[in-house]
Structure 1
Amino acid sequence: MEIRQVVLCKQLFSEAERYLSRGTPMGHGLAVSIAQDAVELFLRAVMKERHAAGQKVPDEFIKAMDYIDAAADGMEQLKVPLRGKLLELNKARVNFKHYGLSPERLDAGRLVSYVSHFFDEATPRFFGTSFESISLADLLADAAIRDRLKAANEALADENFTAAMGLSAEVVELASVAVMTSLAPAGRLGSPSMSSRLTAALGVDAANELSRYMKGLVNKSNRAALMLALPVDVKHASRFEVLAPPVWLLRDGASYQKQWMVPSEFHTAENARFCVNFATEVSLAVDARMATPLPPLGKQGDDELTGIA
């Protein structure tokens, strides 16, 4: 089953929604274009599963729908749903790609919503599962981030909104730490004598309090810098920081302590879904940036280290 290809469709669709949220003419055009790409990738996944006897697998978008409908052999429930709306989407995509005509904000939102409805109806029809249940976490390389993101999605599906928001905070923290650790490996930075100097000058309690305060400032600064560096919406990052609790890794190295800053009445389906979606967006962005790690220092040849050809 081409379910992994459907996972990629969901990733493309999330990109379309991200461009739509920009509210610019270019964003509207890209949203519609990428949403159409997501549908076309989905149709190609279906064509790998269902074959029309005596017909060649087509390249064109409209003919792909014709092929799938022919393979249905008259069974209406196996034909492409929302076909008329998909044709409207394809026309808007052609207008943008070939003529530079971006749809208006309301039109772009309507067309992207068509795609959402298409996936909700077509995924169980052709692949026997709901589009909502398909997790982009399966695309992540880091097992710890992947498992927590899946747990966040499961909590959201079970309507355990507090858990979904908390797990989303853990996901973003794990992703952030992965980047920061890669940029500043342990042992590379910091003075081993700093702690003893602070203790001698201020006393144990004051030194510990100052250290915690400075660590908090550095962590906040690093987090802000990371959010600006990643291709995520700054407004979304700000909303997430308000909704999701700050988390600290406990001594066991496997669990987190959380400090909820918003009361429980804000632990709603809408806010939980937003937190899970944002955690997914950050995870995918970090995964893309770290997909090809550099070889360990000292493993390169002398020419690679010096840049001499």
Structure 2
Amino acid sequence: MGSTASKTAESGEIVVACAQTDPILGDIEANIDITEAAIRRASALGARVVVLPECASGGWAFADRAESAAAAQPIEDGPTIRAWSTLARDLDIWVCGGFGEATSDGSLFNSAVLLSPHGVESVYRKVHLWNTEQLAFDPGNLGFPVAETPFGRVGMLICYDAWIPESFRSLAVRGADLVLAPSDWVPNPHQPRDAPPLAHIMVTAGAHSNQFYVAAASRYGIERGQDFIGRSVIANHTGWLLAEAGGEAEVITAKIDPIGSRERRLSDPFNRPLGDRRVSEYDLGDVRPTRFQPISMLD
């Protein structure tokens, strides 16, 4: 499990899919059925890699740790992980999805898992918690692992992580070719009505400035009064969108070549922000603004 996964890299195009779902808060079994249908639909469209939204296993809008704990499950033998693993094996695909993770020491994480036909390959725990998530989860403690797969080096992040440039950059300097981003994007109150979702700008900027592909799957629907926009996207390494979803149940796909494009991506004279960095000139001191209390959006 994790970045030590050892596989033979295979150059060539693959189809990656983002499958939008609308989970039912706290209902693990119902959400297994919902995600299974989405995974099967993506597989039928030819996807080799399927990305599900953030917290697809049990919903997101938990009021506190007690509610979060009731919907959380261990990575080792949780029912959602078992179900997704079985599908990955039976359909011969890779599945990435968000779930509430419970650990033996009582910690609760907003996590994402990467599953191959052989089982768990990597786990990511959301490093940057957004707003009321701080009341339901612990900050991630695994950093930003990158797993070797047959189709390239794959990293994960979750939703709000995309707003923190160090998230994408941490994966880039570890050699990621493809970033999978389970998300639960919400409307931005400051956004002009005729502008694209700010989440798209964050994804495309991250893809462009780090020279890798990004597949971000966002949920849709309403949970405890909170709207979710869907609008999943797949971006190429130059920052342009290959596919974009609407705001309902939908599966989008795109054909990408993470390994075969690696040399060209990293030697592009017009887009080489990784190669042109001058690390010796950066002062990355840990200067933090005043920390405000979470503002509940669930009342």
TM-score band, normalised by shorter chain: under 0.3
Decide which structure has the larger Cα Rg and report it.
1
More strand by share: 2
Higher RCO, 1 or 2 (CA under 8 Å, sep at least 6)?
2
**How does the TM-score come out when normalised to structure 1?**
0.22
**How does the TM-score come out when normalised to structure 2?**
0.23
More helix by share: 1
